């Protein structure tokens, strides 16, 4: 960490796990980064009392001694932004994990500083800006082909403006070379630093307009969210949170994924590190890492790094949004972050709020989700007819202890995000995956997305969605009756509803993340599957009207044929399901009362 001129050096007077106290620090600011002790560990000021400061340290403080020096750096926690982020794997304070592993073995040593962006690597820069041009923050100076999937826009950093005095011609440059200068002498490089706890500016926030498609049927049909929106996925241990987050990383319609892993189990993060690089982007056939950044807390990192990782991930996501991409941030699990806040707060001996969490928990969680949005990006073109738009969507997993959603992290997150995808352990136990509970989940985005679905989704989307919801509702009611008075109380029409809603659950709502054809579902197939089941319902009703008993219908092989549909590929699904519908219409039409 570079040390500034106005250097303040204090002395370590207390060490309490991830928290330290130092005195002689008059003049430091809240949030300022410190280097602590002989090892030069990175810490962040979280409370100031006179000349004494309290700081959280992002690495293990073991073996540190009282009296060691604490240096102020004059800068807040910041990330490096520039070409080379895409495909990288960082820890919570943006140290590249692979480079660290190479220099210190599997167990990451402390105080090792490795820069986030490679200083040696040369990138092919093509200028866009020209000499004499007036530029403001967000204007594109040039572009760099960062990966096969991502063109990196080199932009004027936030809060900067001027007239271009010089700009480099097309060529290969490192991130530290000056690629443009402003008339006031400001030097612009391909890399700049951005404080993580402050949101990066946007020109304007727009209402949500397009869906963030997860390619999970239950979510896209019943509980869709918008690009720029947010959702939380609470669920007990093993309910399927990680599988949902990873499926969305692979299949959603986001162009860039930032995956923040605060693992519950130590080996889970190791799995992320080994598995993600091997994943293939279903759209391009290339590595998924071409459009993914991983921010991962290894199990040997202290709690403060978890807090940092959430902000690091968010800032990286904002940076690509600023370029005009649709970015999705996946956080798994935000409960580990909240627990980190709780631990630090208790070390600070702050007055605890609900369940020991700090009273500012809800503020922090709200501030996190508020950084999402569908926006017009900064830059001169923002006021033109063709402004650059980007979006940042966040999906946060929540791990309530014992699966009890009444706890503070779930409750707070639910209030500040726009959708709840509630995972249900009893569904997971019955192997109903994704275990999204259709009774308790909700989305606030559907009304805003209605027009989009009406124009872009297959015809009848809104109607079929409504029918599916009421069918599931009827099923719940009928099951209550059966519980009370037994199945004999039901009429054939009602039994048919139970039959069909079972199809809705097992064929439509359930979706295996491990089936080649079913893991990702396009709108065409999502709609087609549901339509098939609902048309089947309509046709069966006609048969019952002819006084044919329901058992004659259920003994037909039609059910199995509908079941097999979900294993059919997305491509050409409309024709596949049309054939299936045609077939059962004939079979059912031929049924007559005996
Ligand atoms: N969509 C799914 N399809 C198939 N299996 C699933 C699905 N979701 C979860 N599972 C099963 O449940 C297990 C636990 O899921 P996981 O996402 O790790 O739970 P959590 O993160 O909530 O603890 C997975 O290893 C997998 O076997
Ligand atoms: Mg998990």
* CA 337 to centroid of ligand 2, rounded, Å: 14
Cα 12 from Cα 6, distance rounded (Å): 19
Q: Is 268 in the pocket of ligand 1 (CB under 6 A)?
A: no
* CA 196 to centroid of ligand 1, rounded, Å: 32
Q: Is 433 in the pocket of ligand 1 (CB under 6 A)?
A: yes
**pLDDT (average), residues 69-95:** 95
Give the pLDDT of residue 500: 97
Q: Which domains does the chain show, CATH number per domain?
A: 9-76 (2.40.30.20), 96-192 (2.40.50.100), 204-449 (3.40.50.300), 461-589 (1.10.1140.10)
> Which candidate, 284, 235, 220, places its Cα nearest to that of 435?
235
* CA 255 to centroid of ligand 2, rounded, Å: 23
Determine the atom of ligand 1 nearest the C-alpha atom of 236: 22
Cα 374 from Cα 25, distance rounded (Å): 41
Pair 14, 29: CB distance under 8 Å = no
The yes-or-no verdict on residue 444 having pLDDT over 80 is: yes
pLDDT interval class at 111 (50, 70, 90): low
Give the pLDDT of residue 52: 96
Q: Is 233 in the pocket of ligand 1 (CB under 6 A)?
A: no
For strands 442-443 and 419-420, give the pairing. Answer: antiparallel
**pLDDT (average), residues 333-341:** 93
Residues bordering ligand 2, an ion, CB closer than 5 Å = 241-242
Cα 67 from Cα 497, distance rounded (Å): 74
For strands 187-189 and 178-182, give the pairing. Answer: antiparallel
Q: What is the pLDDT of residues 447-483, one digit of tens each?
A: 999 999 999 999 999 999 999 999 999 999 999 999 9
Q: Is 262 in the pocket of ligand 1 (CB under 6 A)?
A: no
The yes-or-no verdict on residue 159 having pLDDT over 80 is: yes
> Which candidate, 323, 200, 195, places its Cα nearest to that of 256?
323
Q: Which residue has the tokens 């520039």?
A: 82
Give the pLDDT of residue 297: 84
Residue of 240, 398, 403, 432 best suited for mutating to test ligand 1, as the one with most atoms within 8 Å of CB = 240
C-alpha count within 13 angstroms, C-beta hemisphere, residue 515: 18
Q: What is the pLDDT of residues 33-72, one digit of tens each?
A: 999 999 999 999 999 999 999 999 998 898 899 999 999 9
User: In the chain, pLDDT over 70 holds for what percent of residues?
Assistant: 95
Q: Is 248 in the pocket of ligand 1 (CB under 6 A)?
A: no
Q: Determine the distance from the C-alpha atom of residue 509 to the mean position of all C-alpha atoms in its chain, rounded to a whole number.
A: 22
Determine the atom of ligand 1 nearest the C-alpha atom of 399: 22
C-alpha count within 13 angstroms, C-beta hemisphere, residue 156: 26
Cα 560 from Cα 548, distance rounded (Å): 20
Q: Which long-range contacts (CB under 8 A, 24 or more apart) does 267-271 make?
A: 268/242, 269/296, 269/297, 269/298, 269/299
Among the bound ligands, the one closest to the CA of 424: 1
**pLDDT (average), residues 130-153:** 97
The yes-or-no verdict on residue 312 having pLDDT over 90 is: yes
Q: Is 76 in the pocket of ligand 1 (CB under 6 A)?
A: no
- Lowest pLDDT segment from 9-18, 263-272, 428-437, 551-560: 263-272
Q: What are phi and psi of 248, to 5 degrees?
A: -65, -35
Q: What is the pLDDT of residues 535-545, one digit of tens each?
A: 999 999 999 99
* CA 518 to centroid of ligand 1, rounded, Å: 15
Q: Is 400 in the pocket of ligand 1 (CB under 6 A)?
A: no
Task: Name every residue whose Cβ is closer than 8 Å to that of residue 122 and which is 6 or more positions away in sequence.
Answer: 172, 173, 174
Q: Is 242 in the pocket of ligand 1 (CB under 6 A)?
A: yes
Note the maximum CA span of the chain: 96
pLDDT greater at residue 285 or residue 45: 45
pLDDT interval class at 104 (50, 70, 90): low
Residue of 236, 237, 243 best suited for mutating to test ligand 1, as the one with most atoms within 8 Å of CB = 243
* CA 341 to centroid of ligand 2, rounded, Å: 20
CA dihedral 223, 228, 231, 237 (to 10 degrees): 120
């Amino acid at each position: 960490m570079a040390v500034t001129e106005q250097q303040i050096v204090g002395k370590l007077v207390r060490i309490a796990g991830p928290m330290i106290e130092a005195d002689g620090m008059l003049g430091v600011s809240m949030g300022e980064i410190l280097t602590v002790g002989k090892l030069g560990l990175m810490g962040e000021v979280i409370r100031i009392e006179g000349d004494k400061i309290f700081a959280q340290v992002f690495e293990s403080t073991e073996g540190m001694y009282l009296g060691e020096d604490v240096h102020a750096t004059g800068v807040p926690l910041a990330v490096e932004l520039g070409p080379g982020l895409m495909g990288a794997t960082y820890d919570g304070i943006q140290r590249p994990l692979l480079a660290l592993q190479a220099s210190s073995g599997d167990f990451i040593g402390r105080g090792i500083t490795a820069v986030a962006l490679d200083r040696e690597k040369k990138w092919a820069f093509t200028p866009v800006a020209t000499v004499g041009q007036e530029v403001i923050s967000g204007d594109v100076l040039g572009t760099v082909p960062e990966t096969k999937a991502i063109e990196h826009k080199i932009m004027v950093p936030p809060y900067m403006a001027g007239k271009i005095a010089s700009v480099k011609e097309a060529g290969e440059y490192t991130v530290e070379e000056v690629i443009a200068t402003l008339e006031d002498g400001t030097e612009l490089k391909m890399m700049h630093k951005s404080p993580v706890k402050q949101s990066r500016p946007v020109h304007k926030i727009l209402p949500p307009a397009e869906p963030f498609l997860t390619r999970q049927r239950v979510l896209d049909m019943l509980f869709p969210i918008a690009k720029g929106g947010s959702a939380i996925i609470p669920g007990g241990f093993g309910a399927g949170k990680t599988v949902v987050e990873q499926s969305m990383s692979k299949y959603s319609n986001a162009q860039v994924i930032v995956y923040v892993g605060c693992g519950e189990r130590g080996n889970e993060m190791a799995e992320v590190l080994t598995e993600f690089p091997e994943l293939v982007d279903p759209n391009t056939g290339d590595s998924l890492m071409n459009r993914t950044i991983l921010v991962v807390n290894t199990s040997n990192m202290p709690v403060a790094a978890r807090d940092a990782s959430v902000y690091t991930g968010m800032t990286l996501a904002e940076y690509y949004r600023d370029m005009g991409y649709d970015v999705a941030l996946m956080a798994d699990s935000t409960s580990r972050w909240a627990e980190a806040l709780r631990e630090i707060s208790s070390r600070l001996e702050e007055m605890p709020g609900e369940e020991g969490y700090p009273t500012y928990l809800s503020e922090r969680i709200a501030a996190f989700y508020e950084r999402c949005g569908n926006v017009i990006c900064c830059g001169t073109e923002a006021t033109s007819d063709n402004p650059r738009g980007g979006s940042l969507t966040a999906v946060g997993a929540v791990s309530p202890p014992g699966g009890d959603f009444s706890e503070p992290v779930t409750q707070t997150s639910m209030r500040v995000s726009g959708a709840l995808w509630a995972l249900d352990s009893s569904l997971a136990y019955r192997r109903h995956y994704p275990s999204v509970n259709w009774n308790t989940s909700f989305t606030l985005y559907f009304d805003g997305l209605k027009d989009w679905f009406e124009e872009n989704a297959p015809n009848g989307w809104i109607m079929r969605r409504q029918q599916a919801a009421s069918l599931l509702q009827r099923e719940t009611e009928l099951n209550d009756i059966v519980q009370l008075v037994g199945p004999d109380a039901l009429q054939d029409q009602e039994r048919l509803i139970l039959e069909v809603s079972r199809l809705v659950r097992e064929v439509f709502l359930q979706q295996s993340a491990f089936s080649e054809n079913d893991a990702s579902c396009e709108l065409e197939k999502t709609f087609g599957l549901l339509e098939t089941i609902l048309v089947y319902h309509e046709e069966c009703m006609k048969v019952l009207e002819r006084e044919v008993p329901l058992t004659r219908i259920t003994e037909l092989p039609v059910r199995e044929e509908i079941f097999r549909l979900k294993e059919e590929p997305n491509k050409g699904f409309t024709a596949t399901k049309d054939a299936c519908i045609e077939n059962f219409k004939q079979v059912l039409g031929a049924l007559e009362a005996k």
